Structure 1
Amino acid sequence: MKELNTMNSEEALYPIREVSNLTGVNSITLRAWERRYGLIEPVRTEGGHRLYTLAHIERIKAAVKLTEEGIPISQVKARLKQMATQVKDTLDSDDYDYESKLKEACVNFDLEGLNAELDQIFMDLSDRFLFATILQVSKQLTEHENSNSTRAVIVFWESQLLPRLYTRLRFASRHIASHSAKSLWLQGQSEQDSTVVLVIAAIRLAEKGMNSIISTTPQQDDVLLFENIKASLCQGLVIVDMLQQFDETRWSNWVEEHPGLELHYFMESADDNLNLSRKIQCYAYRLD
């Protein structure tokens, strides 16, 4: 069992009670999986309390899925190791293409296949590569050649992806002190900025210690937008603009009219972010 002082100090850790709530596996069962089968190796505090990482939680979810498919818990550890080896071998041979696998599962409405691929990327990839992969797949699905089914494909994709992202957002927000944390109103630049990109932006901000109030419908009336921000007790505004539709006049005026509110702006391109921060007073970020 790992000691707390051997872990990366920036890695989020979660108590067994919260892990149980998020995975549906009760605490007694989690301890049994650890003792009897060596399925998880949680971190120990000096007082002996168990703490779990995001990787542990994804592993527990994968174990639950395998047991639901009829695999005995005594065989789950070996099966997970086999699956990880297969993926590693495929990655080492440069043959595995996460984006193509995810897109293929979506356009074929393959629920089992999509969930298997999502389980894999959430376990295998760091946040940087995870978010980059998700954004790329979302973009490709939006441009899917069969326009008659594009909306259905995107709904199918987001229905399985968003619960995982919201769970990741909850993890990222857990350490934020609610009484002292900054809250920000977050919305897209236009209706085309999907909920997926909004939640990823909220995760990025949570990692910086800021809470987000996510509005999935962008408010284009700046008077009403300010009223929303004021009513929700937010200290700033976050705009997510994946289509690079920056309205310099609008946001320059916004900064001048609301000097007490921070403006945070997410775009896809690092170069655009650099140029943006030179044009107006704002915090500019890449989304991935």
Structure 2
Amino acid sequence: MTDKATHPADTPLYPIREVSRITGVNSVTLRAWERRYGLIRPQRTPKGHRLYAREDIERVEQILQWLSRGVPVSQVKELLDQPEAPPLSEPASGDWPSQRRQLVAAVEALDMAQLERLFNQSLALYPVTTSLEELWQPTIRELEEHWDDQLGARLQRVNLETFLRTLIGTRLFHANQVVKGPVVLMCALPDDPGPLWLLLAALAGSDAGYRIQLLDGSVPFGELPLAVERLKASALMLVSGRAERPDLIRRQLPRLAEQLDVPLGLCGPVARIRGNDLVDTHVELLGDDLPLALARLRSLLHNA
């Protein structure tokens, strides 16, 4: 298929919100792919609304495949338009390592303009899941390793937390006005030095279609059942980038799970580090890959 829309009159056409639902690519990204790179060319109604054919949706799915292989979005069109595109099994070089280096440098230099550019670019040109998996999660892991013994680490962390709290918080506020999915209550565990993993988890949850209620602060475990009830949450997710105290993991978390009428999920690095301590409990281990954790949560809610 070429990038020019030439569909028969009887071809079913889909509005952008439906294409976003089918492919998981938000409408902002779909429009960016069209305007900046000419990757897709939907038809237009007389009032200018975009309409996509099934071939357009298939093209979006091909774009996602290339992006998942690390191909920069600026190079995807050339690959799509080849008569016989190279097989996806062949490795493709991408610009994610370069973007990660730029992001680390921006955090260390407290370069707010560069941080904002990289954040907006990653979420405008790529699906949230791809941005998290390829850019934000690996960068946070790398930074946290350096921060253990780096001068100025606390300043860098707080600055990045403040930045993400503002931008992700704004996205959550607007998304919660229109999203109709279940309410998920998220909060950090007490030993986590800051809300970086919590904020990324909230971003992944909102992108997955949940209404996210974020408790960006320490809440006693005894008050969490009340929070779940008052906020009408369908699940509670606890997040941490640290191992947390053995007593909290082995005794307090299972006890909290037994007090709840909704699933209690644990995600972030703590779920990988402490997984063996929570076998045969009611605590659901969602893992430290945040998009995958939210997919696992969907299965839990469906079963519940």
TM-score range with shorter-chain normalisation? 0.5 to 0.7
Which residue of structure 2 lines up, in the alignment, with residue 11 of structure 1? 24
Query: Shift in Å at residue 45 of structure 1?
Result: 7.5
Establish whether residue 155 from structure 1 lines up as the match of residue 158 from structure 2: yes
Query: Shift in Å at residue 92 of structure 1?
Result: 3.5
Which residue of structure 2 lines up, in the alignment, with residue 255 of structure 1? 257
CA deviations over 1:18-51 (Å, ceiling 9, x no partner): x7xxxxxxxxxx9xx97xx998978568786636
Partner secondary structure for residue 179 of structure 2: coil
Query: Shift in Å at residue 138 of structure 1?
Result: 2.7
Partner secondary structure for residue 186 of structure 2: strand
Report the residue type matching 1:186 in the other structure.
M
Which residue of structure 2 lines up, in the alignment, with residue 104 of structure 1? 105
Query: Shift in Å at residue 197 of structure 1?
Result: 1.8
Q: Is the Cα–Cα contact under 8 Å of residues 147 and 154 in structure 2 kept in the other structure?
A: no
Report the residue type matching 1:114 in the other structure.
L
Report the residue type matching 2:204 in the other structure.
R
Establish whether residue 236 from structure 1 lines up as the match of residue 239 from structure 2: no
Query: Shift in Å at residue 227 of structure 1?
Result: 2.7
Partner secondary structure for residue 147 of structure 2: coil
Which structure 1 segments of 5+ residues have no match?
20-29, 53-82
Q: Is the Cα–Cα contact under 8 Å of residues 172 and 203 in structure 1 kept in the other structure?
A: no
Query: TM-score, with normalisation over the residues of structure 2?
Result: 0.58
CA deviations over 1:212-258 (Å, ceiling 9, x no partner): 211111213x3223233333333432111221336121122122233
Query: Shift in Å at residue 275 of structure 1?
Result: 5.0
Structure 1 residues 235, 47: closer, same or farther in 2, change over 3 A?
farther
Query: In 2, Cα distance between the equivalents of 1:189 and 1:145?
Result: 19
Query: TM-score, with normalisation over the residues of structure 1?
Result: 0.60
* Equivalent runs, 1:189-268 vs 2, <5 Å: 189-192=189-192, 194-220=194-220, 222-245=221-244, 247-258=249-260, 260-268=261-269
CA deviations over 1:114-161 (Å, ceiling 9, x no partner): 333334433454433422332332344343366552222123323444
Q: Is the Cα–Cα contact under 8 Å of residues 182 and 210 in structure 1 kept in the other structure?
A: yes
Structure 1 residues 162, 225: closer, same or farther in 2, change over 3 A?
closer
CA deviations over 1:79-98 (Å, ceiling 9, x no partner): xxxx946xx9xx94779432
Report the residue type matching 2:228 in the other structure.
I
CA deviations over 1:38-69 (Å, ceiling 9, x no partner): 989785687866369xxxxxxxxxxxxxxxxx
Q: Is the Cα–Cα contact under 8 Å of residues 189 and 238 in structure 2 kept in the other structure?
A: yes
Corresponding pairs, count: 233
The share of aligned pairs that are identical, in percent, is 12
Query: Shift in Å at residue 187 of structure 1?
Result: 0.7
Q: Is the Cα–Cα contact under 8 Å of residues 173 and 207 in structure 1 kept in the other structure?
A: no
Report the residue type matching 2:128 in the other structure.
D
Instruction: Decide which of 117, 123, 137 is 1:135's aligned counterpart.
Output: 137
Q: Is the Cα–Cα contact under 8 Å of residues 187 and 240 in structure 1 kept in the other structure?
A: yes
Query: Shift in Å at residue 4 of structure 1?
Result: 2.7
Structure 1 residues 193, 51: closer, same or farther in 2, change over 3 A?
farther
Partner secondary structure for residue 137 of structure 1: helix
Structure 1 residues 41, 209: closer, same or farther in 2, change over 3 A?
closer
Q: Is the Cα–Cα contact under 8 Å of residues 185 and 238 in structure 1 kept in the other structure?
A: yes
Structure 1 residues 187, 96: closer, same or farther in 2, change over 3 A?
closer
Query: In 2, Cα distance between the equivalents of 1:227 and 1:95?
Result: 42
Structure 1 residues 275, 267: closer, same or farther in 2, change over 3 A?
farther
Q: Is the Cα–Cα contact under 8 Å of residues 187 and 198 in structure 2 kept in the other structure?
A: yes
Which structure 2 segments of 5+ residues have no match?
6-12, 52-72, 79-91, 291-304
Query: Shift in Å at residue 280 of structure 1?
Result: 1.8
Report the residue type matching 1:4 in the other structure.
Y
